């Protein structure tokens, strides 16, 4: 088989081609093998990178802590000097304002400012005389004359507090650090430093060797002193659920990193000021290190795709070639005998197809014969011996004559109409498969004629499941059975006479039951009738109706049908049950 013809077949059948199925199956097989392998590599590589990034983040945070400690250490050095200074003690103990102690305290503050470059101003407040001394002034703090930092302290009453403040433009310019001064466990005063907020920010940012994505400096009460997002500065951590959850986790962790949402958070704690430095690094930054894995995955994907196509082409070409050889054998069966070396599974299939073709030809001939027998059986069922068109036209002529004679309809015209409709249906030999609804209508025409004859002596009961009405069945299989009940079942029997017609669906079979309360069938006659039903011949005897129906069932449905007769002469009554498979394609 030529390669161009292979591609022609592939283009013709597209996704339905063998080539496409081989591509899908081979690619699926390869992917099922390699996907778990790549998943393990990817997961392990991601884990290693995450751990490495966490380690670097922790080291970076701890290194920043050492630089950041210089700020808090400067404050605590000044605080300890002030607490242990005799001049400051005299100022704190003085119950009234004393210019001498205030001047000495101011000189002490100026000395501290000269020795340190971080604070811009230092305040020392005495609770005894309610006076605050700074490097520039001495102020008695009344209810209407308070420093901003002192108002914040009075509202919190915290022994140590850090907080930023803004200027008139809303920009943060000042950072205050305030600590209570105790002596013999008694509160004596406050020590507060004021520093430039931008200098504080520079210290924080410069403390990191590698700049993280976000930085939080948080006090022990959860106040955000610094954040890359200015809107979060001077707010509480609990106001933002995600940062507060990370803060709660970070308060118990130092020297390790925690993973929260999309961030790796490294934490460092100030040993003196109880501050937390939290550096946030996006986990997405790991993706920058995935270049090797991405190249590996892309290369593997290309190799898998190309390999799948090559394998599919190899196997499909061999199969297409075998199919071509099979087609040659089907055209020239003698090839099988001339070249036994080519025999394989495909040639076995070719031989089987040849046998099936011969069997199909035989079945087709047999079916033609059965269709011929079916038409003969329909004619035999109605005992048709005269020309149907002549009979129908004659009935119509009789009906019209009666109508002209009596100037209207009567029972005779009604019966002629029913009979003519019944004859029209019976002699329609082209449509031998009808719906159950049509078959019931035909049977009802016959029963209308019989009930007009017997009136109240004959009772008809019809019980048909609605789902049966659209099912396909053989024409004229109920009327012969009903006629048998009237002609043979009620022969010599006193009325009332009862006929019951039931139809239902059971296990994909359409089931009919025709019952009567007639004289029944003797055991010998029942055996004779069963012999007729088991025979393939159509006998023109007095039981031709039942035999004919059984014969037509077998001609159409083969073994997927049956007919059974139950009769008890002593209890009176006969029930004929017949069923056939539901096949709505007929």
Residue 548 lies in a domain: yes
Residue 92 lies in a domain: yes
Asked which of 238, 259, 287 is the last residue of a domain, the reply is 287
CATH number of 88's domain: 3.30.450.20
Contacts 24+ apart (CB under 8 A), 384-387: 384/426, 384/427
Going 291 to 293 to 295 to 298, the CA torsion angle's sign is: negative
Asked if 262 and 376 sit in the same domain, the reply is no
Of 74, 72, 81, give the one whose Cα is nearest residue 219. 72
Asked if 372 and 236 sit in the same domain, the reply is no
Residue 225 lies in a domain: yes
C-alpha distance across the termini of the chain, in Å: 42
Asked if 374 and 486 sit in the same domain, the reply is yes
Q: How far is CA 187 from CA 128, 369, 555, 585, in A?
A: 10, 122, 116, 103
Asked if 51 and 138 sit in the same domain, the reply is yes
Pairing of strands 458-464, 497-506: parallel
Asked if 377 and 240 sit in the same domain, the reply is no
Q: How far is CA 92 from CA 84, 131, 183, in A?
A: 12, 9, 10
Asked if 283 and 373 sit in the same domain, the reply is no
Of 347, 352, 357, 356, give the one whose Cα is nearest residue 324. 347
Of 555, 419, 568, 534, give the one whose Cα is nearest residue 477. 555
Residue 359 lies in a domain: no
Asked if 233 and 377 sit in the same domain, the reply is no
pLDDT tens by residue, 533-557: 776 554 545 456 788 888 888 888 8
Q: What is the mean pLDDT of residues 549-566?
A: 86
Q: How far is CA 222 from CA 194, 232, 270, in A?
A: 21, 12, 14
Map tokens 């979060």 to a residue.
Answer: 232
Asked if 107 and 212 sit in the same domain, the reply is yes
CATH number of 468's domain: 3.30.565.10
Residue 512 lies in a domain: yes
Asked which of 287, 303, 332 is the last residue of a domain, the reply is 287
Asked which of 253, 287, 321 is the last residue of a domain, the reply is 287
Given a contact cutoff of 8 angstroms between Cβ atoms, the answer to whether 178 and 161 are in contact is yes
Instruction: Note down the domain range covering 472.
Output: 366-384+427-581
Asked if 252 and 378 sit in the same domain, the reply is no
Residue 386 clears pLDDT 50, i.e. is over it: no
What does pTM read for this prediction?
A: 0.45
Given a contact cutoff of 8 angstroms between Cβ atoms, the answer to whether 147 and 171 are in contact is no
pLDDT tens by residue, 222-247: 888 888 888 888 888 777 666 666 66
When divided into structural domains, the chain yields a total of 2
Range with the largest mean pLDDT of 165-174, 405-414, 443-452, 498-507: 498-507
Residue 466 clears pLDDT 80, i.e. is over it: yes
Q: pLDDT: is 382 or 574 the higher one?
A: 574
pLDDT tens by residue, 273-300: 667 777 777 776 655 555 666 677 777 7
Asked if 273 and 376 sit in the same domain, the reply is no
Given a contact cutoff of 8 angstroms between Cβ atoms, the answer to whether 538 and 380 are in contact is yes
Residue 492: the pLDDT is: 81
């Amino acid at each position: 088989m030529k390669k161009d013809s292979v591609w022609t077949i592939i283009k013709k059948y597209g996704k339905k081609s063998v080539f496409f199925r081989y591509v899908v199956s081979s690619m699926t097989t390869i992917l099922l093998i390699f996907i778990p392998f790549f998943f393990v590599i990817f997961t392990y590589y991601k884990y290693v990178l995450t751990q490495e990034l966490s380690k670097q983040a922790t080291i970076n945070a701890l290194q920043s802590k050492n630089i950041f400690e210089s700020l808090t250490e400067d404050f605590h050095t000044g605080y300890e000097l002030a607490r242990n200074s005799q001049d400051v003690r005299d100022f704190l103990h003085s119950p009234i304002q004393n210019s001498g102690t205030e001047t000495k305290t101011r000189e002490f503050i100026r000395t501290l400012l000269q020795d340190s470059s971080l604070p811009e101003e230092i305040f020392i407040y005495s609770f005894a005389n309610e006076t605050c001394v700074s490097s520039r002034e001495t102020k008695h703090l009344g209810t209407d004359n308070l420093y901003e930092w002192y108002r914040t302290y009075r509202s919190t009453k915290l022994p140590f507090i850090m907080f930023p403040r803004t200027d008139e433009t809303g920009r943060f310019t000042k950072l205050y650090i305030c600590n209570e001064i105790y002596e013999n466990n008694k509160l004596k005063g406050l020590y507060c430093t004021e520093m430039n907020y931008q200098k504080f920010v520079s210290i924080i940012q410069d403390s990191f060797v590698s700049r993280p994505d976000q930085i939080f400096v948080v006090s022990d009460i959860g106040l955000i002193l610094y954040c890359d997002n200015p809107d979060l500065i001077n707010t509480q951590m609990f106001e933002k659920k995600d940062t507060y959850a990370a803060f709660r986790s970070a308060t118990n962790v130092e020297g390790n990193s925690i993973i929260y949402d999309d961030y790796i958070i490294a934490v460092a704690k100030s040993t003196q000021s109880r501050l937390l430095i939290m550096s946030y690094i996006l986990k997405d930054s790991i993706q920058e290190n995935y270049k090797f894995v991405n190249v590996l995955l892309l290369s593997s994907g290309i190799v898998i795709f190309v390999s799948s196509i090559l394998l599919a082409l190899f196997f499909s070409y061999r199969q297409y070639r075998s199919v071509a050889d099979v087609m040659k054998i089907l055209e020239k069966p003698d090839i099988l005998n001339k070249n036994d070396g080519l025999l394989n599974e495909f040639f076995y299939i070719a031989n089987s197809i040849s046998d099936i073709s011969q069997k199909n030809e035989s079945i087709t001939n047999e079916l033609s014969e059965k269709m011929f027998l079916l038409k003969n059986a329909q004619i035999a069922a109605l005992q048709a011996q005269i020309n149907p068109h002549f009979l129908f036209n004659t009935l119509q002529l009789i009906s019209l004559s009666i109508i002209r004679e009596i100037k209207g309809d009567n029972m005779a015209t009604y019966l002629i109409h029913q009979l003519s409709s019944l004859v029209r249906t019976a002699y329609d030999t082209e449509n031998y498969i009808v719906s159950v609804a049509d078959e019931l209508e035909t049977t009802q025409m016959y029963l209308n004629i019989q009930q007009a004859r017997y009136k109240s002596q004959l009772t008809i009961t019809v019980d048909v499941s609605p789902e049966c009405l659209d099912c396909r069945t053989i024409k004229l299989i109920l009327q012969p059975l009903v006629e048998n009940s009237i002609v043979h079942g009620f022969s010599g029997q006193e009325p009332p006479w009862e006929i019951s017609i039931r139809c239902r669906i059971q296990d994909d079979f359409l089931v009919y039951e025709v019952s009567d309360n007639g004289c029944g069938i003797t055991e010998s006659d029942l055996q004779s009738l069963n012999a007729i039903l088991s025979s393939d011949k159509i006998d023109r005897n007095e039981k031709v109706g039942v035999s004919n129906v059984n014969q037509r069932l077998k001609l159409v449905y083969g073994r997927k049908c049956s007919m059974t007769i139950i009769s008890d002469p002593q209890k009176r009554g006969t029930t004929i049950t017949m069923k056939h498979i539901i096949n709505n394609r007929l």
